[in-house]
Structures are given as C-alpha cells and as structure tokens.
Amino acid sequence: MKRLSIRARITLWFSVALILSVALTYFVILSVSRQIIQKTIRDDLVKTVEDNVDEIEYFSSIDLEDLENDVDFFIRYGDGYIEVDDDFLDEVNGVYTSLCQSDGALVYGENPIILESEGLGFADSQTNRVTLDHTLYYIYDRELEAEGLEGLWLRGVVSEAQGEAELSAISRYSLIILPSLVILAIIGGYQIARRALLPIRKIAETAGRISRGDDLKERIELGEGDDELHQLAEQFNEMFARLESSFQAQQQFISDASHELRTPVTVISAQCELTLDEEREPEEYKKALETIQRQSRKMNRLIRHMLDFARLELSPERYARERLNLSEMVCDICEDMALIREKGIALSCEARQDVYVCGNRELLTRLLTNLISNAYRYGKPDGHIRVTLTSDENGAALLVEDDGIGIAGKDLPNIFHRFYQADASRSDGGNGLGLAMVKEIVTFHGGEISVDSSPGRGSRFSVYLPK
C-alpha cells in the first residue's frame, strides 16, 4: 500500500487531534453550562419563594372599606383574612409559587403540576427534584410561621426544562463556532505544512538532478532563513561543492595522466616507425632502443605513481600503522641518500634520538625520499641539503631544507597538486606527482605540511606528524 506523504500524515494527525479536542471541549462546555443553568434555576426558585413569604399576612378582622379600596388580594381563612400583597409573584421566569394547605389544597397562586404532585408531602426549606409525567421539576417548600398562617405552605415549582432554551442556544453556537474553527485550523495547518515542507521537495529535486548527472554545479536555493531546513540545505550545498571539486580533480587527474602517458607512447611509436623505415647501422638501432627504454621507464614510473595514489585512496587499510622509531628511519635514509652526491650537493642530518610516531614505514620512507630527491633535483651545484628531526609532546617535526633554485610565490599554492610542475624543463624526469604523494601521505597520518621558499634562496619543507 502506498504510504501517505509526510504533509498528508501531519495534516491528518493534526486534524484528528483537533476534532477530538474540539468534541471534548464541546461536551465540557455543555455539561458545565447545564450545571450552571440548573444551579441558577434552583437559586431563582428558592429566592422567589422566600421573597413571597413576606407578601402574605393574616388579619383576624378587616375593615370592609379597606377591602374595597386595597389593591392587595384578600382570602377568607378561618375566622379572619389572608392578605396576599400585590407584590406576590405567582409566576416569574418559569417559577410558579402557590399557597397551599398542608393537605395540598391550593389556596392561592399557580401550580402547573397541582394534579400530578397531589400527595407529594411538604418538606420545609428543601429543594427536591421530582419526575412527574416524564418531566423533571424542582420543588421548594416553605412553611409559613406567622401568626394565623400556621398549617399553610408556600410551594415553588420550576421545570428543569426551563434552562433548555439557553442550553440549546449555547449548543447551537458551539456547533457553529467550533467546527468553523476546526475547518480554519485544518486549512491553516495544511498550508503551513505545505509551506514548511516545500524546501524538502526542492532539496530532493536538486539532489535528484545532481545524481542524474544533469549539472554538478547546481545548488539548492531556499532564500533567506536560518531554520533547520536552511541548515540542511546548506549542508547539502557544501556536500555538492565537495563532490563537484573531487569530481573535477578526478577529471583533471585522468586528463593529465592521459596527457603524460601519450607523450612517451608517441615518442616510442615514432621512434619505431622511423627506425624500421629502412635498414640501419647497429649503432642507430642501439640509440633507438635507448630512447625507447628511457620513455618506457618514464611510463613505468608514472604508472607506478598513479597506482600508488589509487592504492592509498581506495584501500588505505593496506598500509598498516605501527609504532616506529622515526629517528632511526630518518638517519638510515639520509645515510643512503647522502651517497648520491649529485651535482656535488652535500646532505647533512640532525635527528633527535628516539622520536617515535605511529605510522607506516613504507609511506614515511617514500615521503622523506621524495622531499630529499626534490632537494637534489632543484638544488644548486655544490649546494647543501639539511634534514632535521625534532619532537614535542604531541608529535614529530621533520624539516627538509635546501639552498637551491627555490619556488616562485605564484607556484607555491599549486606545488602539492597532482601533475603540477613549476618549470617542467628543470624537472629532469619528474612527473609532478612527488609532492602530491607527500601531501597524501601526510594527510593519511593526520599530519600537516607547509613550505617556505623564495626563488634563488632555497626551500624549506616542514612536516608535522602526530604521535
């Protein structure tokens, strides 16, 4: 089954959660409102009845003239009269008050359930909840205590349905407002999720185009911002930049290598054609073979160097590291290479004793050999090469100094690049891979290399290797 998109899942989850909480809110509103309304009804009932208590008086005798002129209501009761004040509220806000005898007989007022409540005994100052004819009522009874009124009761009655109108209004409003809020929130949430996830789609599309190989130069453009997605896009862009530059370096390496290999191959094939063109003297054959031998050695060296790079890059695990005595190694190499004495150059070595590093013997030998070979190659006649080894608590520092031709400032940033030669005519059989290999070996050991040089004054290569 196809999984829903993140945006759809977020919106769905958010909507369900919202609908549930709104439904819960609706029920809470209804139940709280119901309780408040019913309490108000009960309070109203008690208050109305209690207010009416004072509106009833008893008179044992009364002036007939008064009877005619008075706005109050008079009821003959026993030997006297009951006066019901005109302020007596027999029906207000659905609350009915009636004046009854203790057997339930109605004396005055209104009671909508007089028939149904017949036989329902009186309970002084109490609110009771009774169901009569499928309707709920609150009934509040109050015994009259004034002189002459003994045995009379005021009974207040209010239907519980009295609050239904308010409750259904609250319910109606809630049912209109709450779902509208839910719909608005869902639409808003969907838009926000859409907008928030838009950059992810951009990132995916750009990564897709780059991985299809359309254009390595392409970058993710998200505009201004510093949120998580912008940081992600930035990381991706940095990764693309690294991919692009390593891809370019790879391309450059292939094209440089093919170029370097083409020259000896062309020379060999031209030499063969020329020599085999006609019958030649043995001396001429010898010369031709010597040229071919020189070119094939050059090719061989180039191929070996290229293989070394490939090995170091693709399977560095082939070069196991061990704790080795760098002092001994440096002294041995210098001793051997001092025998070269090319161009009358002298090699001296000054190595602190027992400097240990964790490294690969074969690679470190290659590193020092390459640096010393260069010092010979670019050294001036009767010059001097000085190799120094020192150490501190973190690692070893190796210096290879010469007083040769030096390197121009413009070439310094490039000399560690593969196939870069400041002046190929002076390189004498070099192929521009020596320093690149040195740099690769230093990186493999987690170290650093720097060069200090000026034309005509010589060069100093400093290598730092951690312990």
430 lies in the site for ligand ADP, by CB under 6 A: yes
CB under 6 A: which stretch of 46-54, 142-150, 232-240, 414-422 binds ligand ADP?
Answer: 414-422
41 lies in the site for ligand ADP, by CB under 6 A: no
- Comparing CB distances to ligand ADP, the nearer of 154 and 442 is 442
- Comparing CB distances to ligand ADP, the nearer of 17 and 346 is 346
- Least separation in angstroms between residue 389's CB and ligand ADP is 18
- Comparing CB distances to ligand ADP, the nearer of 154 and 435 is 435
Amino acid at 357: V
374 lies in the site for ligand ADP, by CB under 6 A: yes
- Comparing CB distances to ligand ADP, the nearer of 99 and 385 is 385
52 lies in the site for ligand ADP, by CB under 6 A: no
For residues 126 and 154, give the distance between their C-alpha atoms in angstroms, rounded to a whole number.
Answer: 12
Are 173 and 155 contacting, i.e. CB atoms less than 8 angstroms apart? no
Torsion sign (Cα): 228, 230, 232, 238: negative
* Residue 98 buriedness (CB in 10 A; 0-12 / 13-18 / 19+): buried
367 lies in the site for ligand ADP, by CB under 6 A: no
Amino acid at 444: F
Can you tell me which of 97, 117, 162, 431 binds ligand ADP, judged by CB under 6 A? Answer: 431
- Least separation in angstroms between residue 268's CB and ligand ADP is 21
Pick from 156, 46, 162: nearest CA to 96: 156
Query: Helix H segments across 315-393?
Result: 326-338, 361-377
Rounded to 10 deg, the angle between the 6-53 and 164-211 helix axes is 170
Pick from 148, 36, 137, 131: nearest CA to 96: 137
Using CB under 6 A as the binding criterion, the count of chain residues that bind ligand ADP stands at: 23
- Comparing CB distances to ligand ADP, the nearer of 100 and 372 is 372
The conformational region for residue 407 under phi > 0 = left, psi -120 to 50 = alpha, else beta, is beta
- Comparing CB distances to ligand ADP, the nearer of 109 and 404 is 404
376 lies in the site for ligand ADP, by CB under 6 A: no
364 lies in the site for ligand ADP, by CB under 6 A: no
- Least separation in angstroms between residue 405's CB and ligand ADP is 5
Can you tell me which of 33, 275, 369, 427 binds ligand ADP, judged by CB under 6 A? Answer: 427
Are 386 and 372 contacting, i.e. CB atoms less than 8 angstroms apart? no
375 lies in the site for ligand ADP, by CB under 6 A: yes
Pick from 119, 111, 145, 117: nearest CA to 131: 117
372 lies in the site for ligand ADP, by CB under 6 A: no
Can you tell me which of 221, 284, 342, 423 binds ligand ADP, judged by CB under 6 A? Answer: 423
347 lies in the site for ligand ADP, by CB under 6 A: no
- The Cβ of residue 67 has, within 10 Å, a number of other Cβ atoms equal to 12
Cα angle, residue 266 at apex, residues 261 and 271 outer, rounded to 5° = 135
327 lies in the site for ligand ADP, by CB under 6 A: no
Instruction: Name the site residues for ligand ADP (rule: CB under 6 A).
Output: 374-375, 377-378, 402, 404-407, 415, 420-423, 427, 430-436, 459
